[in-house]
Amino acid sequence: MKFQNLINSRFGVGSALLFGQLMPRIIGYPLARRIAGWFSSSESSSLVKAMRVNQWVAHQGSLTSDQLDVLVNKVFENSSRALYDLYHNLHSAKLINRMVDYSDHFSYMLERYQKSGKGSMMVAPHLGSFDIGGLALAIRKVSFQTLSYPNPGEGYQLQNYIREKFGLLITPMSVSSMRAAEQRLRDNGLVLTGLDRPLPGSKYQPNFFGRRTALPVSYIPMAIKNNVPVMVVCCYADGDRYILDASDPVEMIKYKDHQEEIERNAEHVLAEAERMISAHPEQWFMYYPLWPELSDPFG
């Protein structure tokens, strides 16, 4: 079984959940590092290959092969630790809440949204652990709809079930869920979706880290149609804490050409994501190939 299939399977998610709940921290953290080392050391893994290329592009081709090895291992280690922290503390809303702090930017974003009386679109890269941040927001009664990846497999379904138990509204993308999201925006609500998982076959290819790539952009016409800004949000680890962070709002700009309108506005949003990823590259867990035309520069 491929690594990504194992990770995203019901068995993989269930095993991580059981491991996180049963293991004390003194055992859980070292074991998470061992598991991360096992995953990252597989040179034949398509997951590892994709992550190496993604990080190489994000660093403008400046990393050596050894540096990529170290960075990819660190990404797996941080992801494993975040999963352990999430599952180990799932039994207690108070513990989840205590793990998370708001950055000044995030606090200002929430305050501005609440005072504006206007809906907002939030988009998140695969950075740190937005599960932990999202659960903390739900515990603090910040309501939002999440548009998740369509047709989720069994592992994703289990993850969504866990999220919904804490009060998160998770809606896999469909015609009906998109309509509900638009209505939420019109009703001055918040909508969240991902922005950096590739969407093969898309006709829209905005620049991301200086290269064109097929990324989801459905949040752009949604924001334009409903006249709302887009904010990039993330939840990165800082020692034993997780920090919810946000960009300034990106206001949509209208263009005469529809494709240019979508791609240029997406690039303005992606530029904010680039800054977050560049600040914490060791926490950017994107293991799908963003630039499939590229191969590992070091073989």
Closest CA relative to residue 235, chosen from 118, 86, 92, 120: 86
Give the amino acid at 72. Answer: V
- What pLDDT digit, counting tens, does each position of 52-107 carry? 999 999 999 999 999 999 999 999 999 989 988 988 888 888 999 999 999 999 99
Question: DSSP letters of 162-194?
Answer: HHHHTT-EEEES-HHHHHHHHHHHHTT-EEEEE
Q: Give 121's Cβ-side CA count (13 Å radius).
A: 29
Reading the block at residue 169, the tokens are 């509204």
For residue 49, pLDDT beyond 50: yes
- What pLDDT digit, counting tens, does each position of 180-236 carry? 999 999 999 999 999 999 999 999 999 999 999 999 999 999 999 999 999 999 999
Q: Which residues on neighbouring strands pair with residue 230, listed in sequence order? A: 121, 250
Kindly list the distances between the CA atom of residue 113 and the CA atoms of 133, 141, 181, 195, 277, in Å, as whole numbers in the listed order.
18, 15, 17, 21, 24
Give pTM, 2 decimals: 0.91
Q: Are 290 and 196 contacting, i.e. CB atoms less than 8 angstroms apart?
A: yes
User: How do 211-212 and 190-194 pair as beta strands?
Assistant: unpaired
Q: Are 151 and 121 contacting, i.e. CB atoms less than 8 angstroms apart?
A: no
